[in-house]
Structure 1
Amino acid sequence: MVVSESQQNPAEAAPASARSIPREARLLLHELAAAWEDVADCRALEVVPLKGAMTNEVYQARWLTETGEAGGAERDARKVLVRVYGEGVDLFFDREIEVRTFECMSRHGHGPRLLGRFPNGRVEEFIHARTLSATDLRDPEILAIIASKLKEFHNLDMPGPKDVLIWERLRTAKSLCSSDEAKEFCLDSMEKEITALENELSEEFQCIGFCHNDLQYGNIMIDEDTKVLTIIDYEYASFNPVAYDIANHFCEMAADYHSEKPHILDYDKYPDIDERKRFVQTYLTSSGEEPDTKEVEDLINNIEKYTLASHLVWGLWGIISDHVNDIDFDYKEYARQGSSSTG
């Protein structure tokens, strides 16, 4: 559910001093700019914070090019994205694994290129594409593109162990909650719920793939001209049942993280049965084979069961984030909604 750090139009954000980013990041940016012939002055760095982040601090760094002028077209500036890792977020994932995933995706052209690393962050290619909005997820054409892209993502042959991580992640997150929170959110019974869900779903055939595990609208970008879609931000990516990843995406359709109350979910926006069928049909046919009715129905049924796991994951995430994150977001109220939706 983590809001993408590249959602806001930089033109709407207030410029910040270059000193708002770590010194090591400034040194790296200076080295990069000095090597680019089109940068007019590598010392004339402008930094713009990108709002909407709930995991990292993210900035756009830019320099005017030889042909660019102040106030001119956006593409007349050389731009990169600076990601400063958030405090405490490694409770939910292994940062080194995430970096290796990013580097692998970058090498294979599935996301922004990695331009450099500094001790608590990295510099990435700035993608010239539009981040999706909550309303985009109601567009049948865009949903079809997402379904096809997600199938491609799931088929990626990523290095490392290919074990399912969802159940381990749930148990680890639960263990990090305090006794008071366990009482407040009735977590004592959750171990039985996790085990029951794991046992039930493990009895059925599960298609395992490389999953994003946080496929909300802010982590999807689209080129308006070519309709090419890019999935970004791989902090939570791992191998999991593909039904879980699709279930998480469907659950995210209830969210609008740019509303007046971004922590409030509207489950009336959860896709209806016709929307779910169209998505699954497109997902399965994008590999070139025509699925039969049973295959479509089985995947839809599995997705519905995995919505419970998705609610549990992000409910626990909200409880723990309330302690480790200073971002202005009502994490506990968000967690309560996840808990109530599973009941």
Structure 2
Amino acid sequence: CLPDEAKVILKSLASKWKNVLDPNALEVIPLKGAMTNEVFQIKWQTIEGEMSRKVLVRIYGEGTNIFFDRANEIRTFEFISKNGQGPRLLGRFAQGRVEEFIRARTLSAPDLRDPTISALIASKMKEFHDLEMPGSKNVYLWDRLRNWLSEARRLSSPEEVETFRLDIMDKEISLLEKELSVSLKRIGFCHNDLQYGNIMLDEVTNSVTDYEYASYNPIAYDIANHFTEMAANYHTETPHVLDFSKYPGMESEQFMFEKY
């Protein structure tokens, strides 16, 4: 299930680790929870016996490039990892990459409503927003919405265009851009996809993962998106349906603002 390019990188990495018994004897374990990629834990037996060396392989989902710029995502990943905000990049191949394996657990939907975890997310979000990324600092939100709308129209039938009102949505985007660009003036480097599956809880790093959608945007948008993600549960038969009874109340929002 792993591309040959990935296997070459993995064997090269393992051969440099003196405690690995056999660089060719790797164990591949599929991991659940990823939305757009296939993710695997890779293990090698070590001379210590029960101990093992581990890395993570991420294989990009087919067709996901219509949602984000993969080259930009890689640059973001490299920069953020150098700034201690996530796993280290260990290797790249055409269809994916090899990352440091973080010994942590991915959050679940209910975790987002835990005050202790919410406080950690708020502080991590602040660190993220304060990052000085190289390159353009232009807001990308509106162009991204228009790009997605264009792709949705291309893939939809005339009936679907009418049902989902795709023919008028560009006007709504322009209206929102005009109205909100005046008030949302604080721009920062935003994650843009801070849902529970992209947050790994580690007592040392409290890592945030998966930077595919990261870009400069109004920080208020990033916070609002996180609140909306609290209404989502991607591990149901209807992952696209939001349950707004789970949306945080004013007290929970204020708590997070204070921790931010």
Q: How does 1:285-324 map to 2 (within 5 A)?
A: none
Taking the aligned partners of 1:202 and 1:260, their CA distance within structure 2 comes to 37
1:205 Cα deviation (Å)? 4.7
Taking the aligned partners of 2:240 and 2:147, their CA distance within structure 1 comes to 23
Q: 2:34 aligns with which of 37, 53, 56?
A: 53
Identity of aligned residues (%): 61
Q: 2:125 aligns with which of 139, 145, 150?
A: 150
Cross-structure match for 2:176:
197
Cross-structure match for 2:199:
220
Cross-structure match for 2:254:
277
Superposed CA offset, 1:180-224 (max 9, x none): 23222011121121111111111225110000000001111112x
3-state SS, counterpart of residue 207 of structure 2: strand
Q: Would you say 1:184 and 2:163 are equivalent positions?
A: yes
Taking the aligned partners of 1:282 and 1:83, their CA distance within structure 2 comes to 32
Superposed CA offset, 1:65-114 (max 9, x none): 11123xxxxxx110100011111111011110000111111112111000
Aligned residues: 256
Alpha-carbon RMSD across the aligned residues, in angstroms, is 1.3
Taking the aligned partners of 2:95 and 2:233, their CA distance within structure 1 comes to 29
Name the one with the larger helix percent: 1
Taking the aligned partners of 1:150 and 1:117, their CA distance within structure 2 comes to 27
Find runs of 4+ consecutive structure 1 residues off by over 6 angstroms.
Answer: none
Cross-structure match for 1:29:
10
Cross-structure match for 1:82:
57
Taking the aligned partners of 1:198 and 1:234, their CA distance within structure 2 comes to 24
3-state SS, counterpart of residue 230 of structure 1: coil
Superposed CA offset, 1:26-68 (max 9, x none): 1111111111111111111100111232211111111011112
Name the one with the larger strand percent: 2
Give me the TM-score of the superposition, normalised by structure 1.
0.72
Give me the TM-score of the superposition, normalised by structure 2.
0.95
Q: Would you say 1:132 and 2:107 are equivalent positions?
A: yes
AA aligned opposite 1:276: E
Taking the aligned partners of 2:4 and 2:14, their CA distance within structure 1 comes to 15
Superposed CA offset, 1:145-176 (max 9, x none): 11111011000001110000000011111111
Taking the aligned partners of 1:260 and 1:182, their CA distance within structure 2 comes to 24
AA aligned opposite 1:246: I
Q: 2:140 aligns with which of 147, 157, 165?
A: 165
Cross-structure match for 2:47:
66
AA aligned opposite 2:253: R
Taking the aligned partners of 1:82 and 1:42, their CA distance within structure 2 comes to 16
3-state SS, counterpart of residue 112 of structure 1: coil
144-153 or 48-57: which moved more? 48-57
Cross-structure match for 2:239:
262
3-state SS, counterpart of residue 188 of structure 1: coil
Taking the aligned partners of 1:219 and 1:102, their CA distance within structure 2 comes to 13
1:260 Cα deviation (Å)? 4.7
Taking the aligned partners of 1:152 and 1:145, their CA distance within structure 2 comes to 11
Cross-structure match for 2:207:
230
AA aligned opposite 1:137: L
Taking the aligned partners of 1:267 and 1:204, their CA distance within structure 2 comes to 25
Q: Would you say 1:251 and 2:228 are equivalent positions?
A: yes
Cross-structure match for 1:327:
none
Q: Which runs of 5+ in 1 are unaligned?
A: 1-19, 70-75, 284-343
